[in-house]
């Protein structure tokens, strides 16, 4: 089934070919920089062009002089964009909270933007297509962050939900949602 879902067009054709499709969850797996967000943006554009009701969140990389320095969170429905994370400076400690912000790996996350994202995921009604980019270590390993996104996926509220995860977190995602289908973005690139 991997080949069927490598492009947004083929994915939508598979899931929206009949009016009464079962609710489904797709785990889009790829390493940092593999193109998960780019793929999701293309899926959103294609779905909107088909007249589907689309919502959720995209995590957009912000680059300065070719270096990823920040991550913005984009509300797909409103188009509103807020700064979610900034790259941690090398001299900063590795504590889990710094100056009121959550810290994960190289990133400092703004709790107010996480709260904003939480409300979007919790309050948006059922959708034809939900994008949750991305469920990461904050959610899976610490039980913090965009937890309402995980709960929404648990409840199967949307006709099709696509959540991005990194390979190191795939096993946790698959345990939580054993019914989910996997698309490995790097395998898709290799087949292209």
- Domain boundaries, given as residue ranges, for the chain: 23-60+73-82+109-181
C-beta neighbour count of 62 within 10 angstroms: 16
Residue 100 pLDDT level (bands cut at 50, 70, 90): low
Give the three-class secondary structure for 174.
helix
Architecture of the CATH domain 23-60+73-82+109-181: 3-Layer(aba) Sandwich (3.40)
**In the predicted model, what is the mean pLDDT of residues 57-81?**
95
Helices marked H in the chain — which ranges?
Answer: 8-15, 36-49, 111-123, 137-142, 147-155, 167-176, 185-191
Q: pTM here?
A: 0.91
Residue 149 pLDDT level (bands cut at 50, 70, 90): very high
C-beta neighbour count of 115 within 10 angstroms: 11
Rounded Cα gap, residues 94 and 73, in angstroms? 23
- List pLDDT tens digits, range 108-121: 899 999 999 999 99
C-beta neighbour count of 70 within 10 angstroms: 16
Closest to 61 (Cα-Cα) out of 32, 90, 101? 32
């Amino acid at each position: 089934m991997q080949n069927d879902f490598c492009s947004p067009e083929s994915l939508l054709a598979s899931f929206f070919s009949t009016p009464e499709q079962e609710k489904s969850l797709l785990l889009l797996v790829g390493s940092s920089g593999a193109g998960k967000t780019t793929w999701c943006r293309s899926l959103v554009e294609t779905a909107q062009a088909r007249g589907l009701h689309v919502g959720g969140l995209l995590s957009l990389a912000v680059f300065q002089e070719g270096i990823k320095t920040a991550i913005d969170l984009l509300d797909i429905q409103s188009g509103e964009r807020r700064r979610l994370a900034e790259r941690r400076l090398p001299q900063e400690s590795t504590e889990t909270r710094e100056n009121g912000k959550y810290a994960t790996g190289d990133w400092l996350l703004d709790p107010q933007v996480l709260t904003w994202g939480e409300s979007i995921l919790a309050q948006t009604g059922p959708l034809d297509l939900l994008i949750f980019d991305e469920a990461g270590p904050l959610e899976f390993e610490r039980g913090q962050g965009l937890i309402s996104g995980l709960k929404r996926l648990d409840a199967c509220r949307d006709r099709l939900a696509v959540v991005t995860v990194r390979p190191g977190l795939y096993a946790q995602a698959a345990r939580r949602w054993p019914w989910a289908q996997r698309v490995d973005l790097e395998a898709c690139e290799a087949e292209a």
